[in-house]
Amino acid sequence: MSKTETLPGIHTVATLLDRQPERVQSLWLEQNKKNPRVDALINQAQSLGIAAQPVQRDKLDRICEGSQHQGIAAVCLATPLLDEFDLLQQVEQSDKPVLLLVLDEVSDPQNLGAILRTADAAGVDALLMPQRNSAPLTPAAHKIASGGSITVPIVRTTNLVRHLEALKKLGVWLVGADGESGQTLYSANLALATALVMGAEGQGLRRLTRETCDHLCALPMSGVVESLNVSTASALFLYEAVRQRQN
């Protein structure tokens, strides 16, 4: 039997109905709540043959595991993952320098959701993370991603370092975030085919991951704060890449 998951939130459901309606099995709606944006999604779902079921607020809260659902959620087939070998093929065949994002055991679903939202905005080609010790795509992660968990291809690899080595052989430069590096982010050439490698909350990059990177870069820190949240750091790294690619 195929696995299902719950995707809450108006923008997330809208993106799902627009991009991947074949995944949607049904909609759950907060009973007696009126919202023109939700009504429009109900009409869109009905035109696609998707049923919408009203439920009490407390039940919808439980279904969405307490995330901010805005009165609507979609029950759908689990998020399809991109095969790691398909990713290598896409990189090899790409007619432009790819921009990949790698999360080395980032474990907080809310961080994952925020990163996916930024990755969508920055035009990331794929997000790569290990199968083990990585954040799951919870309803909260989907809600925070605001559609990014639908639009950004996700790869969960069984061996991150081996996969990074394979990317290097295809000409992808691995740029790791490391607060101890003497090189700042702004000195790195991110206009080339690049995979930005971000470390886990607290511990940063693991040793083997760090050693696999071609370059290690730090964000300049002028205040008393020693480091930034991984979702914030990811956004800064991604948008420096965007800036350089627009020149």
Whether residue 120 sits in one domain with residue 213: yes
pLDDT value, residue 48: 95
Task: Please list the helix, strand and coil fractions of the chain in percent, rounded to the nearest 5, in that order.
Answer: 40, 25, 35
Number of domains the chain contains = 2
What's the predicted TM-score (pTM) here?
0.92
Rounded distance between C-alpha atoms, residue 117 and residue 52, angstroms: 26
Q: Are residues 60 and 113 in the same domain?
A: no
Q: Which of 51, 77, 103 is the last residue of a domain?
A: 77
Tell me, what's the pLDDT at 239?
A: 97
**Enclosing domain of residue 119:** 84-245
Judge if 199 and 110 occupy the same domain.
yes
Q: pLDDT tens digits for 71-91?
A: 999 999 999 999 999 999 999
Is 171 found in the same domain as 101?
yes
Token pair 């990755």 in the structure block, residue = 119
138 and 184, same domain (yes or no): yes
Task: In whole angstroms, give the CA distance from residue 76 to residue 120.
Answer: 21
Residue-level pLDDT at 2: 59
Same domain, 50 and 93: no
Based on the fold, state whether residues 98 and 200 are members of the same structural domain.
Answer: yes
Q: Say if CB 196 and CB 100 are below 8 A apart.
A: yes
Rounded to whole angstroms, the Cα distance separating 144 from 160 reads 25
> Tens of pLDDT along 162-193?
999 999 999 999 999 998 888 999 999 999 99
Phi and psi at residue 176, to the nearest 5°? -95, 145
- Domain of 24, CATH number, reads 3.30.1330.30
* Per-residue pLDDT at 235: 97
120 lies in the same domain as 196: yes
Q: For the sheet containing 99-104, what is the strand order? A: 154-157, 126-130, 99-104, 194-199, 173-177, 215-217
Segments of the chain with pLDDT less than 50: 1
164 and 205 share one domain: yes
- Asked whether residue 188 falls in the same domain as residue 240, the answer is yes
Query: Roughly how many angstroms between the first and final C-alpha of the chain, as a whole number?
Result: 49
Q: Are residues 112 and 182 in the same domain?
A: yes
The answer on 154 and 182 residing in a single domain is yes
Q: What is the DSSP letter of 187?
A: G
